[in-house]
A = this chain, B = another copy of it.
Amino acid sequence: MRIGFIGLGAMGAPMAARLVAAGHEVRGFDMRKAAVEALVAHGGHAAQSAQQAAEGCDLLWLMVVNGEQARAVLFGSEGGVAAMLPASAIVVAGCTQAPAQAKALASQLAESGVVMLDAPVSGGVAGAQAGALSVMCSGPQAALDAVRAAFDAVAKRVFHVGNEAGLGSTAKMVNQLLCGVHIAAAAEAMHVAERAGIPLPAMHEIISVSAGNSWMWGDRGPRMMQDDPPVTSAVDIFVKDLGIVLDQGKLARQGLPLAAAAMQMFLAASGLGHGMADDSQVIRAYRALNGDKKG
């Protein structure tokens, strides 16, 4: 398959390399020249522009940072690539974006007869490097079948969650809702324990073997017990991600009380000056809220 790949960042670079390794002809573009050169070293081809990556491709895969960038690449005033896509081309929107954005992109592409798959991924950089991502995909079954071999090169699991664009992004958003609420809940629980004087390592171990356990408790809990942990993902990332959840809830007229409450804690942590800190540090917002020293 001839694949144009735009966005060779932490996720995109290993994904594109795996597509090359699976035997596809990959033409990659990124604003950073070094990223393009790295793809060439893996056996891919360099594109000098987004247009060059898109030209004549069977599949155009966008792994840019967000929906705004995806829109700029496809329809930007300075040479959007949508106009030059073959009518048979399939666009895979792999970036994380709001469901409404994914839907709008698909509609606009449909005007020129191009099919889009709304296909964000999860599994992180490690998953991308191992070809073990999960793809949450919505769009026509025929399009999914057509690109299935490419998906299988980067993903361990491909979930087809519906025929309309927006549903793939909604599935990803549901995961982010749970992640955000679970991190804030972990902080709330730790905060109760630390205020009562329970040793936090014991508390962490108790929950790890109890029904209150979560993936986030296991992952973020240990960093919650540190004063200045390494940043794996920042507080402001969840301000963004829960922001997408609540914006979508607003559009859909759907009240989401837990996501809203969790958002306030991430916002407060950011307002306290911890926006760039590890998201486990949302616990500082709890300390501040209740007047505890470490806040």
Which single residue of chain B is at the shortest CB-CB distance from A245?
Answer: B192
Q: Is A258 a contact partner of B185 (Cβ separation < 8 A)? A: yes
Stretch at the interface among A55-63, A74-82, A141-149, A259-267: A259-267
Chain B residues in 8 Å Cβ range of A195: 252, 254
Whether A196 touches B257, Cβ cut-off 8 Å, given contacts A134-B210, A212-B174, A213-B214, is: no
Q: Is B178 a contact partner of A209 (Cβ separation < 8 A)? A: no
Q: Is A162 a contact partner of B197 (Cβ separation < 8 A)? A: yes
Instruction: Verify if A290 is at the interface (C-beta below 8 Å from B).
Output: yes
Q: Is A202 a contact partner of B261 (Cβ separation < 8 A)? A: no
Mask of A206-232 contacts with B, CB within 8 angstroms, 1/0: 110111111111010000000000000
Q: Is A185 a contact partner of B181 (Cβ separation < 8 A)? A: yes
Of B160, B179, B211, the residue contacting A175 (CB under 8 A) is: B211
Q: Is B216 a contact partner of A215 (Cβ separation < 8 A)? A: no
Instruction: Verify if A276 is at the interface (C-beta below 8 Å from B).
Output: no
Chain B residues in 8 Å Cβ range of A258: 181, 184-185, 188, 258, 261-262, 265
Chain B residues in 8 Å Cβ range of A261: 257-258, 260-261
Least Cβ distance of A280 to chain B in Å? 13
Chain B residues in 8 Å Cβ range of A167: 196-198
Instruction: Verify if A255 is at the interface (C-beta below 8 Å from B).
Output: yes
A184 to B157 Cα, complex, angstroms: 27
Chain B residues in 8 Å Cβ range of A122: 206, 210-211
Instruction: Verify if A272 is at the interface (C-beta below 8 Å from B).
Output: no
Mask of A103-126 contacts with B, CB within 8 angstroms, 1/0: 000000000000000000010000
Whether A171 touches B259, Cβ cut-off 8 Å, given contacts A179-B212, A211-B215, A212-B215, is: no
A contact residues, range: 35 or more
Interface centre among A207, A219, A258 (most CB of B within 10 A): A258
Chain B residues in 8 Å Cβ range of A179: 211-212
Q: Is B254 a contact partner of A159 (Cβ separation < 8 A)? A: no
Instruction: Verify if A10 is at the interface (C-beta below 8 Å from B).
Output: no
Chain B residues in 8 Å Cβ range of A173: 192
Q: Is B197 a contact partner of A177 (Cβ separation < 8 A)? A: no
Q: Is B209 a contact partner of A157 (Cβ separation < 8 A)? A: yes
Instruction: Verify if A253 is at the interface (C-beta below 8 Å from B).
Output: yes
Which single residue of chain B is at the shortest CB-CB distance from A292?
Answer: B254
Chain B residues in 8 Å Cβ range of A170: 192-193, 196, 198
The 11 sampled A-B contact pairs (Cβ below 8 Å) are A161-B198, A161-B199, A171-B206, A178-B212, A178-B213, A179-B212, A185-B185, A196-B252, A214-B214, A255-B289, A257-B261
